[in-house]
Amino acid sequence: MNGPARHHAGRATRPPGREVQAAAWLLRHPGFALVPLLGLGLAATLGPLGAGLTVAAAVAAVLVWWRVHPATFDRFAAPRLRSSWRRWTVYRGRRWAQLMSDTGLTREHRHTGDQLVPRVLRVRSSSPSIDTVYVRMVRGQDVAYWQEKASVLWEALIAHRVAITRHRPGVVAIVIEWELPFTRTIPAPDIPETVDDVDLRALEIGDNEHGQPFTASVVDGHRLVAGCTGSGKGSVLWGTLRSLGPCLRDGVARVWMVDLKGGVETEQGAPLFHRYATTMGEALELLTEFRDAMRDRQDWMRDNNIRRCTPSVETPVELLVIDEMAMLTAYGDRAAVRDALRLLAEIMTQGRASLFTVQGYLQEPSKDVLDVRELFTQRICLAVTAASHVDMVLGEGARERGALADEIPGDDRHAGVGFVIDHGSRLPVRFRAAFVTDDDIAELVQRCAPRDAQVIELTGDRGAA
Ligand SMILES: Nc1ncnc2c1ncn2[C@@H]1O[C@H](COP(=O)(O)OP(=O)(O)OP(=O)(O)O)[C@@H](O)[C@H]1O
């Protein structure tokens, strides 16, 4: 009856031999065997000089790519190279074991007394300042246990923020934000002088964490912006309109504004709008008019055999902006909400080629918004109040890949900070919207209000129709 070996037949009381451990390690990290083998293979076929030249040429090609085309390099090559680099410099061997031990995340084997260290399975470095480390927990731990230790881990790593989620049974994903790359408030984008200075596919609304302009299109689809109160949605909205300024002035783009918060925040910009609605009744009228205008343009395109419109005074970009979208799609009278959702779905599925696009701003993503979520091709998540909101807005797995939007503190240092998913790499990219003040809005109105504006009067009953 004595001794663990008799209690647990088949379970060893001593670890496997070192050679077995080494073979298992190599199987888990095939690159370590394959790279030297490839080197030897090259040397055998091309000779040492040929092999050296081939490797040098490969390194040179990567360097040339890095220098010549930073945008594609940062998008495709950098995350992979960075992930490998971090894996073997930060989350490796003894250093990792020490970190786990110091933070109380190791366990002693009951029988052998060995330290069991959670194993790093994979590192994904989506940006220079965000890593996701996938770790197999040791037996007896669960995700709640790890989450309890998150703050200890955070302090030990000297990181900006750490969040832990369950990836799959036995495996946790640790998202580590190393630093906040935005140290200052970014001033509002300049209003371009002329329509020719405006790139409708890349309107500047802030900076991304790579230090490049954060841009957004108003012609390639629809945009959803989610963020809790005070997160900086206003900056994204007004930043877009500032970058679009001359197009509004000259009638190459027109804004149809729906603000069911009574127009408090958008009233200042009313002279810029082609149509303006602040009650549910007005909003439905506006949506219907927008939809009908879209149908008319589609008919015109069909008659003239045009597959895609070019923005011009004759065929302007028609931009439907909905501030606090949930008031339209979730909280209003049920029949009105149903009508609004039906009109929106029609506009969003058909509007793109005829230049009818939608931008929805939202405080709290709800189930009703999810019905049309997939129709938004660009989704932006500023600070939100719940972890589940991040995936609701950006798509499943976004938070685990690094989009910790629910962890963005609600203070002025972080206002305007958010995440988007890069279309090419599918990785989250952090950005900060430029701050558009009331004076910046006033300047925009003064310089860019359209000459032939026919704004709906701000009268009538307010609230739900
Ligand atoms: N891009 C930014 N950079 C720095 N600070 C900002 C930025 N955007 C907003 N702020 C600060 O955050 C405050 C709240 O911003 P804003 O009103 O745009 O938030 P919001 O998301 O529109 O909130 P609500 O949904 O309540 O209207 C601003 O008064 C300003 O102090």
Residues 203 and 234 in one domain: yes
Given a cut of 70, whether residue 14 has pLDDT beyond it is no
Cα separation, 288 vs 339, in Å, equals 9
235 occurs within a structural domain: yes
Tell me whether residue 130 is in a domain: yes
Q: Are residues 159 and 222 in the same domain?
A: no
| Residue 252: inside a domain | yes
**Residue 272 CA to ligand 1 centre (angstroms):** 21
Q: Is the CB of 413 under 6 A from ligand 1?
A: no
Count the alpha carbons within 13 Å of 385 in the hemisphere toward its beta carbon: 8
pLDDT band at 11 (very low <50, low <70, confident <90, very high): low
- Which residue's entry shows tokens 């909205």? 237
Q: Is 235 in the pocket of ligand 1 (CB under 6 A)?
A: yes
Residue-level pLDDT at 133: 92
**Of 24-38, 124-138, 280-294, 362-376, highest mean pLDDT:** 280-294
Q: At 111, list the tokens.
A: 């029988």
Phi then psi for residue 317, to 5 deg, are -70, 125
Same domain, 351 and 294: yes
Residue owning the nearest CA to atom 13 of ligand 1: 230
Report the separation in Å between the CA atom of 163 and the middle of ligand 1, taken as the mean of its atom positions: 25
Whether 410 maps to a domain, the answer reads: yes
208 Cα: distance to centroid of ligand 1 (angstroms): 18
Domain count, the chain: 2
| In the predicted structure, residue 311 carries a pLDDT above the cut 70 | yes
Which is more confidently placed, 183 or 146? 146
247 appears as a binding residue in the annotation: no
Residues 397, 264 share a domain: yes
Is residue 465 predicted with pLDDT exceeding 50? no
Q: Are residues 273 and 384 in the same domain?
A: yes
pLDDT at 439 over 70: yes
In the chain, how many H helices and how many E strands? 15, 16
The neighbouring-strand residues paired with 255 are: 273, 319
Q: What pLDDT is attached to residue 78?
A: 84
Residues 136 and 210 in one domain: no
* Segments forming the whole domain that contains residue 158: 82-179
Average pLDDT over residues 75-104: 87
Are 158 and 227 within one domain? Answer: no
Residue 140: partners with Cβ closer than 8 Å, 6 or more residues away: 107
* CA distance linking residue 180 with residue 340, whole number of Å: 39
What is the 231 CA–ligand 1 centroid distance (Å)?
Answer: 5
With both helix axes pointing from N to C terminus, report the angle between 233-250 and 438-448 in degrees, rounded to the nearest 10. 10
Sign of CA pseudo-dihedral 274, 279, 283, 284: negative
Cα of 262 to ligand 1 centre, how many Å? Answer: 18
Pairing of strands 273-277, 356-362: unpaired
Please tell me whether 381 is known to bind a ligand. no
| Domain co-membership, 175 together with 207 | no
Kindly state the average pLDDT of the residues 40-60. Answer: 85
Residue 448 labelled as part of a binding site = no
pLDDT of residue 7: 45
Q: What contacts 334, CB < 8 A, 6 or more positions away?
A: none
Kindly state whether residues 175 and 248 are assigned to the same domain.
Answer: no
Helix, strand or coil, per DSSP, at residue 89:
helix
Domain match, 422 and 339 both: yes
More confident residue, 40 or 273: 273
Per-residue pLDDT of 361-395, as tens digits, reads: 998 887 666 677 888 888 999 999 998 899 989 98
263 is in an annotated binding site: no
pLDDT of residue 223: 93
Ligand 1 atom with the smallest distance to the CA of 234 is 18
What CATH number does the domain containing 109 carry?
3.30.980.40
Of residues 7 and 400, the one with the higher pLDDT is: 400
Which residue has its alpha carbon closest to ligand 1 atom 6? 415
The rounded mean pLDDT for the chain is: 85
Return the structure tokens found at 55. Answer: 């490797």
Q: What is the mean pLDDT of residues 92-106?
A: 90
More confident residue, 332 or 219: 219
- Distance in Å, CA 438 to ligand 1 centroid: 11
Q: Which of 182, 207, 225, 235 to mutate to test the pocket of ligand 1 (most atoms within 8 A of CB)?
A: 235
In short, whether 234's Cβ falls inside 6 Å of ligand 1 is yes
What is the pLDDT, as a whole number, of residue 282?
Answer: 92
| Domain shared by 233 and 367, yes or no | yes
| Own/partner long-range contacts of 137-143 (Cβ < 8 Å, ≥24 apart) | 137/170, 137/171, 137/172, 138/106, 138/107, 139/107, 140/107, 141/105, 141/107, 143/172
Q: What percent of the chain has pLDDT over 70?
A: 92
- Is pLDDT at 208 greater than 90 in this prediction? no
Higher pLDDT, 75 or 189: 189
For residue 189 and ligand 1, the question of a CB distance below 6 A is answered with: no
Distance 258 CA to ligand 1 centre (A): 19
Decide whether any atom of ligand 1 lies within 6 Å of the 220 Cβ. no
Residue 172 CA to its chain's centroid (Å)? 21
For residue 16, being part of any structural domain is answered with no
Confidence of residue 295 (pLDDT cuts 50, 70, 90): very high
Q: Give the atom of ligand 1 at the shortest distance from the alpha carbon of 417.
A: 1
- The CA R_g of the chain, rounded to the nearest whole Å, is 27
Which has the higher per-residue pLDDT, 128 or 186? Answer: 186
Joined together, the tokens standing for residue 430 give: 């952090």
Q: What pLDDT is stored for residue 1 in this prediction? A: 37
Q: Is residue 9 part of a domain?
A: no
Residue 47 resides in a domain: no
Is 229 marked as a binding-site residue? yes
pLDDT band with cut points at 50, 70 and 90 for residue 452: low
- 86 and 127 in one domain? yes
Output 100 or 76, whichever has higher pLDDT: 100
* ipTM, 2 dp: 0.95
pLDDT of 254 higher than 50: yes
CATH number at residue 362: 3.40.50.300
User: Which of 116-125, 241-250, 324-333 bottoms out in mean pLDDT, i.e. has the lowest?
Assistant: 324-333
Give nearest CA residue, ligand 1 atom 3.
Answer: 435
76 in any annotated domain: no
Query: So what's the pLDDT on residue 2?
Result: 39
Cα 121 to ligand 1 centre (Å): 39
Question: Is 228 known to sit in a ligand binding site?
Answer: yes
